[in-house]
Structure 1
């Protein structure tokens, strides 16, 4: 594993280059290709070679990468790490143009369980995927689009017009969230704007047909604190886990078959063709195994580490944690446990992860939600249920989860990557 500071430099570059799941997958594809992994197509017959790395993309926003081990995959199983590529945000509606009080705005939907207040008074840009009609093409073709520059904002209402705002702000997503993009003008068409932007990037576009576009904060990831012990960025949940899993996989060269799965739509339930509840991972594992009996044996010998960031204890809100289960920043990855199976960790799988951390020389922590509070969930229980595979839920501790600007410790992603590298090369699991 590379040293911590170069690791974090790479993490920040990955976060900055990945304003939507589509750009995140493209960034991972580039890193995998550079590491010698070969691209596969689900529509082709696969001829896999021991020792070689491969990756396959579904829908442009979900990716599975794996390195075929030199040993017998059926009897040894697969060392799997799972994460997700999406984050809560504001998604542009199909007919978004709004003109109000002389200003041009875009209608948006709230994607996932976003903290909405931090979206106000930010310099926003747009990124995602666009489908367009090109000369000579019978069907629409796609392109990734990122405006990169600030093109919008959601201004707050002055405190003089809402004197009680600091006692609680009620945000109506329909009325209060449409970003302002410019002064109003006659004949504005959002698809024409997209066409012009694509043309400036070298695409030949007859007409924009459809799109998946998401607003994001243009503020770059940063190291924060007098001692620079904190790392702040958008989309730490859960691109941090995608990056750590990717780095661990690229370091893996053993007899064991290791796999990274990064799926879209976790923040809205994972129920899609490219989500964890869909068949993507199972279809890849079945190809690796061969027949049905071999597939069942492979599952029996496999282990999945579901990586999704954990709630670090907040110094201003200590009462929101169980007094014995408040993970600290820069104190190592967190095992997440829930009696009602909102997390998939068991005593067996938790014990195994503790051993991987011990072997890697990494500290480890535990999180259990307060008994009088509800608990979130991850792809862990979904994948465990779908596949019947043993699973443990872990994650790097962070503050401000689902905010437009999240916070983690400078050590924790690196700690997690070291533990995942040990796991991916472990002889037994």
Structure 2
């Protein structure tokens, strides 16, 4: 059993930031909860940034986690901690002219879809604010980056969705990006932080010269529900975050969902109700928030003021799809849920096999021949 002190402590730690005024849906969507897994990862990032300039070789980090675990939110948090300062730097040009430019300590970019080295460089120049990022010739992209990065005081490059460099791409494509980042790290001495799904490891581990640069993988895991003392602490963290979301929900809670009313009176019912939300989200805070956002949307459509179990049931259906008996997954806010733990999340560390090349007719000649042979021989 989780102690009240543990839950209260988590609720105090996982404080929600102030949110700007707006619609109830927008206000809820703006909530950011400083929960423990984020704080631990953020401290690792800040430690790497802090030693920039003190080491011959700047640190390189790899941060992974399942979809919805908050990786992109974490990236934006880092960017916010090291904001752009307008006209914050000045330097002397070769002609003796004093030029002013922004100070941009951290450059945050997303790995482009179907990425190449050229596309990544253009994305970086766009995020920097280069007015010619789209029109520069390919051979002028790297010189422009090597001018801007020291001029703007960029000491850290954060690349989100790095797994795109290995999704459905060949070895040559991911290697050219990896070697570009290797050059950037060697020649400009920037801290490089790669963020993405678990299969990002295939990008980092493809070459010894590349692999040796990266610290051990920092994995952001979903919260756990049961097990040893560590899992009990994880469960307390999840419940603390759940309570914050419920308290911020712009709806009155029906007695069956208002867990505060029976936390002390009926601890077993309290945990059982919390476990419904755990099942719905599999311990992933992004999925928990998605459920509540859909709840608010449906309530607004139906002009409801009270969140009842039926409303949460419908929100789950809309947010995650109908019950799936084949996968063993049911709606935890309906009668078919019997208190089970959620099914395992899909493994984000596995490669996605690239699609086979297709002819104009839609399949390769060999594939069509195999299909015909199968049709003629199988009875």
Q: Is the structural similarity TM-score above 0.5?
A: no
- Rg comparison, structure with higher value: 2
Relative to its length, the structure with more helix (as a share) is: 2
TM-score, normalised to structure 1, is 0.26
Higher relative contact order (CA 8 A, sep 6+): 1
TM-score, normalised to structure 2, is 0.28
Relative to its length, the structure with more strand (as a share) is: 1
